[in-house]
Chain A
């Protein structure tokens, strides 16, 4: 009680929680019926609950999630090396690999950055029904061929190495060579996984809920970390569809795609090279169903 007539916030809060004994509760209610200032205080208390409930709870930042995964991996290593042991450093292992150099100076350009391919094809794309459509017949297959041609043109203009599996597989002698190359491209920390159909970008499925803040951080930590997704996934066709849409808008070579969320909504995070030398990327966030942008494309770093 403050003074003889009014009640303090604590009593009122206890009343609201049903903590007062029956007699006291009745007294306070009778007072509230006639006292406006105390009624105001009670409304303030209700507002506290509303404000607290309405305060957004942020998703865990990717950096923290990675830290925890590392700590748990170390924990697994300590306990006998089950499963989660630290993966090899692929950058280091692949440093002097013979295919490292040619990639830096592009001699041939892969023309299929938008769709997965079963085998090396030049200047053609795989259409919906699985047939290979040569790019020169683009007028009859406008919907598919236009993005592909645009992407190839962009690659020439930018002069960036489009690291396509065509280039790599041509030098090797089987799917093994192709999949190793694919892993090098994505700088993953996981051992190579076989890639039945290797698209020209790395695809991951982190499930991470990205915020704008995360996307200003270097992306390598996020994309490079998540496990590669095999090419046989049924989502793959959907992802490809959206990636080709993004390519048609950005005219940039797609480098990596992560399946996750953006502010709690399912999203594909598509990273394309803006300037590879400067390690700058264009980041498109699209919804995985209609391939619509969920926010304005922005610049990011690898």
Chain B
């Protein structure tokens, strides 16, 4: 499971659910929607960044999505969780963007250069190299497969939750995931022996902590 931990704001105000916040927003509470944004923006950002593979595009998509959610709050019926609804708006904004922009095939080295520009960090950690390779590989997939894999394999949502977000049957999510994984396998198989990523990151965390 790779989804971020609960945000601190949620921990501070555990009594108020997302749905209550949304109702408060509809009733004119000026701070309610910011609280929703604060709770979910990291997750929405991760979904958009992984789906689009480009930070500028992802920022535009998430902004569009939150503004759209702000406007359309009254149309939320409560039959799904607020998070599902938000995810749906974000994913649709991403897919919309990909459709509108004629996606030009990009060469691999170009992708890596672009990724270097995005995050000009001096420290070349294993974690970051893997992250860059994964981003580049995901860009090679059709958008529907990419969206399914981001939700299920990267963000750790169940097939059922992903199906609700994507508004397709569970079987469709499964087959998109299967086809996507089949395409990624030859590209990412060399990372098979490096799946000790978690240990790497905690060792790094310890190093940071101990200064």
Contacts and interface: CB of A to CB of B under 8 A. Distances in A.
B119 A57 contact: no
Nearest to B196: A54
Nearest to A64: B59
Contacts of B184: 48, 52
A47 interface: yes
Most buried by A among B7, B177, B181: B181
A8 B179 CA distance: 11
A25 to B, nearest CB: 13
Contact of A19 (B175, B188, B195): B175
Contacts of A18: 174
Given A44-B185, A212-B121, A295 B208 contact: yes
Contacts of A16: 178, 181
B41 A51 contact: no
Given A19-B171, A69-B37, A57 B70 contact: no
A292 B211 CA distance: 10
B62 interface: yes
- Chain A interface residue count: which class? 35 or more
Interface residues of B, number: 68
Interface string B52-63: 000100110011
A48 B188 contact: yes
Contacts of B174: 17-19
A10 B178 contact: yes
B14 to A, nearest CB: 14
Given A53-B2, A75-B70, A263-B205, A45 B185 contact: yes
Contacts of A71: 63, 66-67
Interface stretch (A76-84, A108-116, A134-142, A160-168): A76-84
A294 interface: yes
A6 to B, nearest CB: 14
A215 B45 CA distance: 19
B179 A13 contact: yes
B156 A53 contact: yes
B154 A14 contact: no
A294 B209 contact: yes
A14 B7 CA distance: 36
B134 interface: yes
Interface string B166-202: 0000010011011101111110110110010110010
Contacts of A177: none
A76 B33 CA distance: 10
Contact of B42 (A17, A47, A60, A84): A60
A207 B178 contact: no
A82 B191 contact: no
A48 B34 contact: no
Contacts of A292: 209
Interface in B15-40: 28-31, 33-34, 37-38
A279 interface: no
Contact of B181 (A48, A57, A213): A48
B2 A54 contact: yes
10 contacts: A19-B174, A45-B181, A51-B134, A55-B2, A57-B43, A57-B49, A64-B45, A71-B63, A263-B208, A294-B208
Interface of B: 1-5, 7-9, 28-31, 33-34, 37-38, 41-46, 49-50, 55, 58-59, 62-63, 66-67, 70-71, 119, 121, 127, 130-131, 134, 149, 153-156, 171, 174-175, 177-179, 181-186, 188-189, 191-192, 195, 197-198, 201, 205, 208-209, 211
Given A44-B185, A53-B153, 15 more contacts: A10-B178, A16-B178, A47-B191, A48-B189, A51-B130, A53-B156, A54-B195, A54-B198, A55-B130, A56-B131, A68-B62, A72-B34, A83-B30, A207-B38, A294-B209
> Which 7 residue pairs are nearest across A and B when measured between Cβ atoms?
A83-B30, A57-B46, A60-B45, A13-B178, A9-B182, A52-B153, A54-B197
